[in-house]
Amino acid sequence: MSFRDNLQYLRATRNMTQEQLAMLLGVSRQSVTKWEAERAYPEMDKLLKLCDIFDCTLDDLVKGDLTARPTARPAATVPQGAPQDVCGYDEHMRRFARKVPTGIAIIVLGAGIGSLFEGQRVLPFANPDALFMGVLLLGVLAGLAFIIPAGMEHSAFQKAHPYIEDFYTAEDKSAAGRRLACGVVGGVGVIFVGVMGLLLTEDGPHGNLAASALIMLAAVGAWLIVHFALMYNRTNVAEYNKSVADDLELEEIANLTVEEEYKAALLQKKRHSQKVGAVCAVIMLAATAVGLLLLFAPLFGGQNIDDIDWESGGSTYFWLAWPIGALLCGVVAILMNAFRKE
pLDDT digits (tens, 9 = 90+) for 191-227: 999 999 888 887 777 668 888 999 999 999 999 999 9
pLDDT given for residue 109 in this prediction: 95
C-alpha 330: how far from chain center: 23
Residues 142 and 230 in one domain: yes
Please tell me the distance from the alpha carbon of residue 32 to that of residue 41, in angstroms, as a whole number. Answer: 9
Q: What angle do CA 20, 21, 25 make, to 5 degrees?
A: 120
Q: Between the ranges 50-59, 168-177, 269-278, where is the mean pLDDT highest? A: 168-177
pLDDT given for residue 174 in this prediction: 95
Residues 100 and 142 in one domain: yes
pLDDT given for residue 206 in this prediction: 66
Residues 97 and 241 in one domain: yes
Residues 95 and 238 in one domain: yes
Please tell me the distance from the alpha carbon of residue 268 to that of residue 73, in angstroms, as a whole number. Answer: 44
Residues 243 and 157 in one domain: yes
**Span 173-190, pLDDT tens digits:** 999 999 999 999 999 999
Residue 167: inside a domain: yes
Residues 11 and 157 in one domain: no
Does the pTM exceed 0.85?
Answer: no
Residue 76 amino acid letter: A
Residues 294 and 263 in one domain: yes
Pair 105, 223: CB distance under 8 Å: yes
Pair 193, 217: CB distance under 8 Å: yes
Pair 153, 12: CB distance under 8 Å: no
pLDDT given for residue 256 in this prediction: 60
Pair 140, 132: CB distance under 8 Å: no
Residues 264 and 243 in one domain: no
Give the phi and the psi of residue 304 in degrees, each rounded to 5.
-75, 145
Please tell me the distance from the alpha carbon of residue 170 to that of residue 40, in angstroms, as a whole number. Answer: 36
pLDDT band per the 50, 70, 90 thresholds, residue 4:
confident
Domain that holds residue 68: 3-76
**Span 36-93, pLDDT tens digits:** 888 788 888 888 888 888 888 888 888 888 877 665 444 445 545 566 777 889 999 9
How many structural domains compose the chain?
3
Among 98-107, 110-119, 179-188, the least confident range: 110-119
pLDDT given for residue 72 in this prediction: 47
